[in-house]
Copies of this chain bind each other. A is one copy, B any other.
Amino acid sequence: MDRLDALRVFCAVVEHSSFSRAATELNISVAKTSKLVQSLEQALNTSLLRRNTRRITLTEAGERYYHDVVPLLEEMANIDARVERMTTTITGTLRMTMPLDFGRRLIMPLIPDFKLTYPDLELDIELSDRHADLVAEGFDLGLRVANLKDSSLIAKPLGTYRMKCAASPEYLARHPAINTPEDLEAHPCLTYSLSAQPSNWHLIRGEEEARVRVRSALQLNNGDLLAQAACQHLGVLYQPDFILSTYLDSGALTPILTDWQDRMVHAWLVYPARKYLPMKVQAMLGFLKNHLSDQ
């Protein structure tokens, strides 16, 4: 028998001075009412109610118990109501983690709009180029631009981006031409440490696949800094378009191997597997889906 139910039933019986009225009130059978009170008495090894078939009065222990239990039940109801409110409204703090560049270029511009939509939701965003452990560090939501490790996390695709090769015009002028993927092997390359295999670049043209093992002249966990290195003529870059676009537009970098169809990279939203996804997470999921897919 559920102890908390037993307490509630006991209180109802006391308040109505009757098992049958309490049962009616609580919408349970009279038999259950009787059994629950008995189970409570058994658990406490005490009679709480003096009773015959016509009357009910509290024993001294019962009086004390009732007196103490009523505020406890009220408090319990308050606690439940508080949690209920937390789950049905979009409030509190949403803790996220995402790669620095992705956050800076794609997410931050959306934040003002988000805050207007959900003014009561605090955001706690960690910008970090590493794979944080969502569970260990208490993140509600993570944003990943990479191959996902196997994990108990739930992953939702957020968008796809194209990987492009590029280098600075000056670098290209001073080094051998790059016409095929294999030509890359002769060049110093700028590699991204969070890729599954940083030095293995993977290009596609029609049905044709090329896997090139490049020489890493510089490896970083931050794509923007890699691009800046490329601008300083340090080597060939292989990064998603949302990083490169600024540099290509300004002419600081020049695309190469443009006839090779760029491989797609997926961005993912990941969150700890849960049956009961909090509203705040759902809100962010929906918001990002809407605002990033039609970008």
Contact = CB atoms under 8 A, between A and B. Distances in A.
Given A57-B138, A152-B53, A64 B86 contact: yes
Interface in A73-88: 75-76, 79-80, 82-84, 86-87
Contacts of A59: 140, 278
Given A47-B274, A64-B86, A133-B55, A72 B69 contact: no
A293 interface: no
A6 to B, nearest CB: 9
A249 to B, nearest CB: 41
Contacts of A50: 134-135, 138, 272, 274
A207 B138 CA distance: 92
A30 B31 CA distance: 34
10 cross-chain pairs, A with B, having the tightest CB-CB distances, nearest first? A3-B4, A47-B274, A68-B79, A50-B272, A55-B136, A57-B138, A46-B87, A47-B276, A55-B135, A50-B135
Interface string A78-117: 0110111011000011000000000000000000000000
Contacts of A272: 50-52
A186 interface: no
A42 B140 CA distance: 19
Given A4-B3, A51-B272, A64 B44 contact: no
A272 to B, nearest CB: 4
B135 A52 contact: yes
* Interface bracket on A: 35 or more
A47 to B, nearest CB: 4
A59 to B, nearest CB: 7
A45 interface: yes
A160 to B, nearest CB: 27
A194 interface: no
A60 B53 CA distance: 49
Given A4-B3, A41-B276, A57-B135, A79 B72 contact: yes
A283 interface: no
